Structure 1
Amino acid sequence: MNNNHLLKGMLIVTTSKSRLSASMYATMSISFWGVSFVSTKAVLGKLDPYSLLVLRFGIGALFLLLLLLVLRIRMFISLKHLPHLMILGILGVFVHQVLQATALLTINASSAGWLISFSPIFTVILSLLFLHEKINFTKLAGMVLAITGVLLVTTTRSGHSLQIAMNIGFFLMMLSTLNWAIYSVLLRSLKLPYSPLLVTFYMSLLGLILTTPFIIRNRGWESLSLLTQTEWAHLLFLGIFVSGIAYWYWGKALEVLEASKVSMFLYLEPITTLIAAVMLLQEKILLISVAGGIIIIIGVIIVNGHLVPMLFNFFKKKRL
């Protein structure tokens, strides 16, 4: 009996450590992705979106390949899993990054950071459509609140503060957010029998292959001589930390936690983006955009059923 209790205790401790590690991986991924909007915006002045992505995927794939060789991870992939990897690579890497890089041509980095936190709403909508989950009044109210926040973030910067900007960049950013929700659900549900590092390498390699024809068409290599040391540093950060480590750690987090729980870490991304945009790009932050971003986060928390437990724990601690 004592042995059973001891084993259960060890299992609980091990599970807690695994969940804590997964949470750390997700937090680091979100931090890197939050800054990625700023780094992408900084380089887009010299490079077109496709040339930027080719360099980013190339640096990321090379870094991940070196890691695989150092760690002596077998690189064999079964042919039956190749279609799964291609779908993940196209959605999570190629389509997602093309949409974001193109969107950042016309919107600022901080707005992009706020909008990406809308992703958990799409996760709930996908669950309603394909998993036949039921929606209640609380979830509906949260969705309406989050959509209101999105409308505030996407307002024009002119005197008509409540006039919605007819800006293709905001539309593309929302598409990338929907695309990311689909990618996260697929990555979790497919459960590929390979290490997240290996899966990330092949996805980055696929992104490189798919974008290379565009840099040839646009003669993007001619712009490389225009890049400063600071811009090269941004590119290295995008390749190594964003395309490499962040995707790898996100996959490691999804090995332990459910996709819906991992998506909760997206709340942290706009904060990282906001700080980086102010410090590195000297972006001016409108109060209405910050208010909209906070409303998005509150709405998403309500939809995912986290607000009531959070308030209950808060007031419980106050009493103690």
Structure 2
Amino acid sequence: MTFNRPRLTASLYALMSISVWGVSFVSTKAVLVKLDPFSLLVIRFGIGALFLLLLLLLQRHRLYISIKYVPHLMVLGILGVFVHQVLQATALLTINASAAGWLISFSPIFTVILSLLFLHEKMNITKAVGMVLAVTGVLIVTSTRSGQSIQFAMNIGFLLMILSTLNWAVYSVLLKSLKIPYPPLVVTFYMCLLGLILTTPFIIRNRGWENLTLLDHSEWAHLLFLGVFVSGIAYWYWGRALEVLEASKVSMFLYLEPIATLVAAVLLLQEKVLLISVLGGIIIIIGVVIVNGQLVPILLRFLKK
């Protein structure tokens, strides 16, 4: 059996995206103290679109998009950028960052179902075992973060976050199935630009720019991180991963998102880490590796050394 370098590279892209998105909940929560969700998103999309445009110019990509694919980009931009980010930012007004981090881990379940229905991807025993392990790890990490079980509150934030996971699953399947023949960087730029266009009327209505003067240096740093890394690089890398891997396999990396959120919460909010949480994180990683078919190649390489 040979080691599949393209699939490993795609897996690394997905892992980097998830790591950034996991931290994004902490950054978003920090900025929402002074900005409303739409004002936050306008600044974030604006920074992201400018950053991606600079990357496109540096790499000399053509900005031309055939009129044939404009509807595709609009659907992806509305679902994957505008709707998704509005749902999450609004949800974070009533739930904490940690809860958001683990709620998003439900998305792979929706993605697998949609992939089976529309992309004709197959479910096998190995993938099923990996999913069970990953779900088990998520439950361990999230139910023991504070030393006690998480209590579910059926509030609007909880419902919006669950809805965002279904929305993200639809976006991932569409991004894979539409097969837009342009580089992921170009596609990501236009989706981010569309997000900026769609949210701008709301900051005008709410006069959100008036609160920008209230932000301190740390909050502007959070906004720069959200714009450059979360709206820019992470979406770009997610698209590159979907070029190689099945949508259901890429979505499995969302199980790692609670770990990234946990690490960010420890570093930025000084939360405590329990040993059982570390064990849950290891189980998540093993489950994701199994689902992506990389466990056997990794073991073989290790045994050959």
Normalised by the shorter chain, which TM-score bucket? Answer: 0.7 to 0.9
Match of 1:249 in 2: 237
Residues 222 and 283 (structure 1), Cα distance of their counterparts in 2 relative to 1, 3 Å cut: farther
**RMSD between superposed Cα atoms in Å:** 3.7
Confirm or deny: 8 A CA contact 1:118 1:146 kept in the other structure.
no
Match of 2:167 in 1: 179
Confirm or deny: 8 A CA contact 1:111 1:153 kept in the other structure.
no
Deviates more, 1:144-153 or 1:96-105: 144-153
The answer to whether the aligner puts 1:118 opposite 2:86 as a matched pair is no
One-letter amino acid matched to 1:268: L
Runs of 5+ unmatched residues, structure 2: none
Match of 1:170 in 2: 158
| TM-score, structure 1 as length reference | 0.79
Q: Deviations over 1:113-144 (max 9, x none)?
A: 11112211011222455467788999999989
| TM-score, structure 2 as length reference | 0.82
Determine the C-alpha separation between the residues in 2 that align with 1:85 and 1:161.
Answer: 41
Shift of 1:235: 0.3
Residues 260 and 69 (structure 1), Cα distance of their counterparts in 2 relative to 1, 3 Å cut: same
- How many correspondences in the alignment? 304
User: How do 1:273-288 and structure 2 match up within 5 A?
Assistant: 273-283=261-271
Look at both structures and tell me which one has the larger radius of gyration over its CA atoms. 1
Which residue, out of 90, 93, 96, partners 2:84? 96
Deviates more, 1:215-224 or 1:278-287: 278-287
User: How do 1:47-58 and structure 2 match up within 5 A?
Assistant: 47-58=35-46
The answer to whether the aligner puts 1:39 opposite 2:24 as a matched pair is no
Confirm or deny: 8 A CA contact 2:134 2:255 kept in the other structure.
no
Determine the C-alpha separation between the residues in 1 that align with 2:150 and 2:44.
Answer: 37
Deviates more, 1:56-65 or 1:292-301: 292-301
Q: Moved runs in structure 1, 4+ residues, more than 4 A? A: 128-155, 160-163, 283-302
Identical pairs, percent: 78
Determine the C-alpha separation between the residues in 1 that align with 2:12 and 2:131.
Answer: 28
Residues 144 and 42 (structure 1), Cα distance of their counterparts in 2 relative to 1, 3 Å cut: same
Which residue, out of 196, 203, 210, partners 2:191? 203
Determine the C-alpha separation between the residues in 1 that align with 2:142 and 2:94.
Answer: 12
Deviates more, 1:249-258 or 1:41-50: 249-258
Q: Deviations over 1:271-307 (max 9, x none)?
A: 11111012112356799999999999999999x697x
Match of 2:177 in 1: 189
Residues 102 and 290 (structure 1), Cα distance of their counterparts in 2 relative to 1, 3 Å cut: farther
Match of 1:70 in 2: 58
Deviates more, 1:283-292 or 1:124-133: 283-292
Determine the C-alpha separation between the residues in 1 that align with 2:106 and 2:114.
Answer: 13
Match of 1:61 in 2: 49
Deviates more, 1:137-146 or 1:68-77: 137-146
Shift of 1:36: 0.7
Which residue, out of 3, 6, 11, partners 1:23? 11
Residues 175 and 146 (structure 1), Cα distance of their counterparts in 2 relative to 1, 3 Å cut: farther
Determine the C-alpha separation between the residues in 2 that align with 1:265 and 1:142.
Answer: 11
